[in-house]
Chain A
Amino acid sequence: MLSNVRTSIIRQVDYLTSGTQLHFIRTKRKKAGSDKSEVRKLVTQLSVLSANRKQPKLLKFSNEDYVKHQVIQKSWNLYVRDKKAEEANILQKQYESIRAANEDLQSVSKELFSFANTREPSKRFPLELRVPTEYPPNQIWHHDYTPKVEKKK
């Protein structure tokens, strides 16, 4: 992969009398495989990628532990299912109420109804909206930030 060749320099010496002669100069010999730093780096990188490292050991459970695990798993699944159903229920209620509200609006004011039902394709959530964390920073955003105005020359 890498060149371990001894570098020899061939120098052309031009003698006026004897014509062109080739002159060999020996440089310091590189030991075979001495420059392995790049190869070693690649090998390290490959070993990080290797599948062998990723296979964790099988967990050893006692029978009681298995039962515990199954109970927890089962109850977690139930919890997730209930949460999903609850969320769907809330969304459905919201949907029904906005539909009813729109039907009312349609009968009351056509103008307001069409205004409420225009599509806003470039509607975005504000950039200040953050994914909540348990430990938010002291200053959430720079509320008093004003962009620098460039001086006109």
Chain B
Amino acid sequence: MLGYRSFSTSSVSLKVGCAMVKPVHHRVKVIKKLLSPRFPELKLSPTDPRSPKFRPEITHQDRVQEHIHNTLRSDLMLINYIHGEKPAEGLKRRQWDFTSPYHINRPARPPKGEKVPTPTIMPQSWKNVPGIEKVVVHSFVANCTSDPKLNIGVSLQLQQITGVKPQSVYAKTNLPSFGLRKGVKMGAKVELTGRDASQFLSTLTELVLPRITTFEGISNRAGSRYGTVSFGLKPEDVLYFPEIYYNQDAWAKRFGMDITIHTTAQLDREARQLLSGLGLPFVGTEREPKLTR
């Protein structure tokens, strides 16, 4: 049943065998009368401590976000302001000209030179100043094919470092030469937003990256073109996270990680400008995107 939609879930299952979710026995009593759609006034908002969704999130100062809002955003707007700039139209799907009756219902052609449409880049204004959206920390461990027990260690390492519950990642394809089978658990990832992301970024820029002797900076060529910057940490670099550094005996086996920083910037260069304000160094030559302006 690989690749098909499972009976019980809406997502396409990549996992091996039957879909089994480990039972979490309900520690929270569900008050059924509050779930009923008949009495919307009784519905609890997630900010209500009686709601099972309640999380006391605003427990401490968010230094990184405050720095972005107090110092960086106005500068970023002024750096990227170009007077009289027009929106740079992205490449969109090409419609058929309907000269043939067969063009009806035929899907539009992909954009020229691309597989998916590219976004239209709007000129810099006070409404689209970039900010941090989320940080994804992803550990793919190739040895998991031979030693599935490693999955526990990877998940735990991510959880200890970020303080967020990790999700498992599964092999997407069959690669017999690497012993990779589709659906095998191959590591873990966490998605950090809000205060967790800020905490992770400040740990990274203040404690981890300055201690890595071989680290010169993030490559100026790394990124998804449209505002996402990513880089990797090797297992020996992961040592410098304080959770691991001060308990090295417990972490005999360490795992590398790929860090992807999603920003609301429209282009990578704007994202890099934002991240440089948080103390992330960048090296290498810059690649300017070809925009039809």
Give complex CA distance A117, B82 in Å: 5
A54 at the binding interface (Cβ < 8 Å): yes
B155 touches A98 (CB 8 A): no
B75 at the binding interface (Cβ < 8 Å): yes
Number of chain A interface residues as a range: 35 or more
A119 touches B49 (CB 8 A): no
Taken residue by residue from 25 to 63, chain A's Cβ proximity to chain B (1 for < 8 Å, 0 otherwise) reads as 000000000000000001001101101101100110100
Q: A48-B159, A55-B27, A98-B81 are in contact. Are A87 and B69 (CB under 8 A)?
A: yes
Name which residue of chain B comes closest to A132, CB basis: B67
In whole Å, how far is A153's beta carbon from the nearest beta carbon of chain B? 24
Name which residue of chain B comes closest to A123, CB basis: B79
A81 at the binding interface (Cβ < 8 Å): no
Number of chain B interface residues as a range: 35 or more
Q: A61-B49, A95-B81, A95-B126 are in contact. Are A125 and B149 (CB under 8 A)?
A: no
Majority secondary structure of chain A interface residues (helix, strand, loop or mixed):
helix
A49 touches B279 (CB 8 A): no
From B25, B155, B278, give the contact of A49 (CB < 8 A).
B155
Name which residue of chain A comes closest to B49, CB basis: A59
B202 surroundings in chain A (CB, below 8 A): 131
Q: How many A-B contacts if CB must be within 8 Å?
A: 105
In whole Å, how far is B123's beta carbon from the nearest beta carbon of chain A? 11
B286 at the binding interface (Cβ < 8 Å): yes
From B75, B156, B282, give the contact of A45 (CB < 8 A).
B156
B71 surroundings in chain A (CB, below 8 A): 129
In whole Å, how far is B34's beta carbon from the nearest beta carbon of chain A? 13
A17 at the binding interface (Cβ < 8 Å): no
A123 touches B273 (CB 8 A): yes
B78 surroundings in chain A (CB, below 8 A): 94, 98
B63 at the binding interface (Cβ < 8 Å): yes
B129 at the binding interface (Cβ < 8 Å): yes
Give complex CA distance A90, B24 in Å: 48
A69 touches B156 (CB 8 A): no
B276 at the binding interface (Cβ < 8 Å): yes
A82 at the binding interface (Cβ < 8 Å): no
Q: A58-B28, A92-B126 are in contact. Are A120 and B79 (CB under 8 A)?
A: yes
A73 at the binding interface (Cβ < 8 Å): yes
Give complex CA distance A124, B220 in Å: 11
B27 touches A52 (CB 8 A): yes
Q: A125-B75, A133-B63 are in contact. Are A113 and B24 (CB under 8 A)?
A: no
Q: Which residues of A from 134 to 150 have beta carbons under 8 Å from B?
A: none
B272 touches A46 (CB 8 A): no
Taken residue by residue from 62 to 76, chain B's Cβ proximity to chain A (1 for < 8 Å, 0 otherwise) reads as 011011010111110
B152 at the binding interface (Cβ < 8 Å): yes
A124 touches B276 (CB 8 A): yes
A85 at the binding interface (Cβ < 8 Å): no
Give complex CA distance A70, B50 in Å: 11
Q: Which residues of B from 242 to 293 have beta carbons under 8 Å from A?
A: 269, 272-273, 276-279, 281-282, 286, 288
Most chain A Cβ neighbours within 10 Å, of B47, B205, B206: B47
Q: Which residues of A from 113 to 127 have beta carbons under 8 Å from B?
A: 113, 116-117, 119-125, 127
Name which residue of chain A comes closest to B27, CB basis: A55
Known: A91-B73, A127-B281. 11 other contacts (CB 8 A): A42-B152, A48-B156, A52-B25, A91-B77, A95-B77, A124-B272, A124-B273, A125-B72, A127-B276, A131-B278, A131-B279
